[in-house]
């Protein structure tokens, strides 16, 4: 069986019901329009660039904040060395 290739994960920004992202291959800005509110709150979605057709996984701002927190719990200061 062929191994599935992972798409690169890129950050997207929300403006209304539109998700904007920049293609890492051709550096063009693309948009995803959410047709229903439930789609707007998804944490990640697969998308393709409309110019070069390169596929990537777009992370929404909620998912980006969740992955950047690291191992330090919220509300606790980092231990000083």
For 34-72, write each residue's pLDDT tens digit: 888 777 778 888 999 999 999 999 998 765 656 555 544
Domain chopping of the chain, boundaries: 9-68
Point out which residues pair with 56 in neighbouring strands.
Answer: 47
Determine the average pLDDT of the residues in 15-42.
Answer: 87
CB proximity list for 64: less than 8 A, separation 6 or greater: 11
CB proximity list for 14: less than 8 A, separation 6 or greater: 20, 40, 60, 61
**C-alpha to C-alpha distance for 21 and 77, rounded to whole angstroms:** 33
Comparing 12-16, 23-27, 43-47, 75-79, which segment has the lowest mean pLDDT? 75-79
**C-alpha to C-alpha distance for 77 and 43, rounded to whole angstroms:** 27
Whether the pTM exceeds 0.75: the reply is no
**C-alpha to C-alpha distance for 15 and 75, rounded to whole angstroms:** 29
């Amino acid at each position: 069986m062929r191994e599935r290739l992972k798409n690169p994960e890129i950050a997207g920004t929300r403006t209304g019901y539109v998700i904007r992202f920049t293609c890492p291959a051709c550096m063009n800005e693309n948009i995803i329009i959410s047709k229903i509110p439930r789609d707007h709150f998804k944490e990640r979605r697969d998308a393709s660039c409309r110019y070069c057709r390169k596929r990537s996984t777009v992370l929404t701002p909620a998912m980006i904040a969740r992955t950047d927190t690291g191992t330090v719990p919220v509300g606790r200061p980092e231990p000083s060395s």
